[in-house]
Amino acid sequence: MSANPWDCIIIGAGAAGLSAARQLSRNGKRVLVLEARDRVGGRTYTQTAQCGMPVDVGGQWLGPGQNRALALAAELELSLWPQPQHGRNLLRLRGKLSSFSGNVPALSLFSLLDLQINIWRLEAMARRILAEAPHNSAQAADWDRITFAQWMHRHVRSRRTRAMFHAATHAVLATEPEEISMLQFLFYLRSAGGLIPLISAEGGAQEQRIRGGAQQLSEGLASMARSRGAQIRLATPVRQIDQDEDGVNVITDSGTERAQRVVIAMAPSQAANLEFAPGLPTQRRQLMQRMPMGSVIKVILIYDKPFWREAGLSGEMVCDEAPLRMTFDSTPPDSEQGALVGFILGAEAARWSEQPKAIRRGEICRQLTGYFGKAAGHPIEYIEKDWCDDPFAQGCYVGLMAPGVMSRLGHVIREPVGRIHWAGTETATEWNGYIEGAIQSGERVAREVMQVL
């Protein structure tokens, strides 16, 4: 059929690239996956603590509606653990520490009403976004003129409610609301089915954890692809992609590979570092130049026991202070030790990224002592992953768009360029930015490539 050694070369061995590899190899295609890192999994990454506890320093949770990821976990016979929910949550906003049970935060009636009204507003707006083509939504131009911060400024009355939305933006997009277009914010909500599913544990995106860690999803996909003949080469960064009439050459430091088609399953800002011949179309290049990554440092603190439970606390904390903006209980059900997972997010992450680890650790222990008591200051292990300085991600969770970008350039996000096809969670129409979106994008791109092979 073709003289080229590979049917498809996939660049990037995260959940997106490996889903594509699995689908294509299952359909009898000769697939080569090239990955710059020395591991698969991309923005999921499971490490093992000294005490033996597996800890996810990248993507961690699954939830209802993430059907592809849940099905994959079931297929791989991975156990799911519910996110611990018992006990009172902590909220510290504008200097005031309070605690509450369940989903209704400790706000005044006025702030709560303000919160509820504006969540309704946002969800109603999000329903009017076209998930397949947000740039063509009826009000795309208007919503792409402002940032989410400006929308808040106009619509949210209570300062504490505003702080809640600020925290939600940090939690969900790892950026400041001042930097993200309202259109991308609404699209993000739309692709997940609303704001509540994004910020909730029970019934939402943080409902389930994977026993043994989320990276197993990618490892499982890699095994399935390999068993159908796909080759996966780690530690092989791609430098250049040259298209000609008969195929594509993919150039790495260790040689050139040739295929019928190429799938780029990388974050757009990372793909911008590749060289292309012929050059990519201008709007494609401009889009990749205009999707900087969010900012997050993920921290896991392991204690000899989950001491907060004795005080009736859930381990869940949201605040407007530094360094950590939020924590959750991350203790495995079968563990004696307790674990808290915390996040430094947005502008704070970029600043704290430049500090030595010991300073970050010290400040975090000091901060958590103020919320959870003395025991919080004495973890037996401190593990962190600064995604801001990860050389192959340059930030997390996803590529962000400032005002004007999505309405002007959003139409090229999945548009193939000759023999080059695009995957990655940023190209997803469902659960954009999540593991689920990565898998969706990989399956979609595999269908796209199958049609032309």
Report if residue 357 touches its own copies, rule: CB under 8 A: no
Report if residue 403 touches its own copies, rule: CB under 8 A: yes
Residue 402 or residue 450: which is nearer to its own copies going by CB? 402
Report if residue 241 touches its own copies, rule: CB under 8 A: no
Q: How many CB atoms lie within 10 A of CB 390?
A: 16
Question: What is the phi/psi pair of residue 239, to 5°?
Answer: -105, -40
- Check: CB of residue 303 under 8 Å from CB of residue 372: no
Residue 178 or residue 363: which is nearer to its own copies going by CB? 178
Residue 167 or residue 296: which is nearer to its own copies going by CB? 296
Report if residue 146 touches its own copies, rule: CB under 8 A: yes
List 293, 313, 393, 423, residue binding its own copies (CB under 8 A): 293
Task: Report the C-alpha gap between 233 and 256 in whole angstroms.
Answer: 13
Residue 314 or residue 407: which is nearer to its own copies going by CB? 407
- Check: CB of residue 452 under 8 Å from CB of residue 261: yes
Report if residue 389 touches its own copies, rule: CB under 8 A: yes
List 404, 416, 418, 443, residue binding its own copies (CB under 8 A): 404
List 285, 305, 309, 361, residue binding its own copies (CB under 8 A): 285
Report if residue 258 touches its own copies, rule: CB under 8 A: no
Beta strands across the sheet bearing 80-82 = 61-62, 208-210, 80-82
Report if residue 426 touches its own copies, rule: CB under 8 A: no
* Number of residues that make up the chain: 453
Question: What is the phi/psi pair of residue 318, to 5°?
Answer: -130, 135
| Cβ at position 286, least distance to its own copies in Å | 5
Report if residue 418 touches its own copies, rule: CB under 8 A: no
Contacting residues for 123 by C-beta, under 8 A, at least 6 apart: 189, 194, 195, 196
Residue 225, CB-side half-sphere exposure with 13 Å CA sphere: 34
- Catalogue the long-range contacts made by 99-107 (C-beta closer than 8 Å, 24 or more residues apart): 99/313, 103/200, 103/202, 105/164, 105/318, 107/158, 107/160, 107/161, 107/164
Report if residue 149 touches its own copies, rule: CB under 8 A: yes
List 134, 379, 395, 442, residue binding its own copies (CB under 8 A): 395
Report if residue 289 touches its own copies, rule: CB under 8 A: yes
Report if residue 290 touches its own copies, rule: CB under 8 A: yes
Name the DSSP class of 293.
B
- Check: CB of residue 149 under 8 Å from CB of residue 165: no
List 178, 242, 320, 443, residue binding its own copies (CB under 8 A): 178
Pairing of strands 338-345, 275-277: unpaired
Which residues of this chain interact with its own copies, rule CB under 8 A?
144-147, 149-150, 153, 176, 178-179, 269, 272-273, 279, 281-283, 285-286, 289-290, 292-293, 295, 347, 349-351, 353-354, 386, 388-389, 391, 394-395, 402-405, 408-409
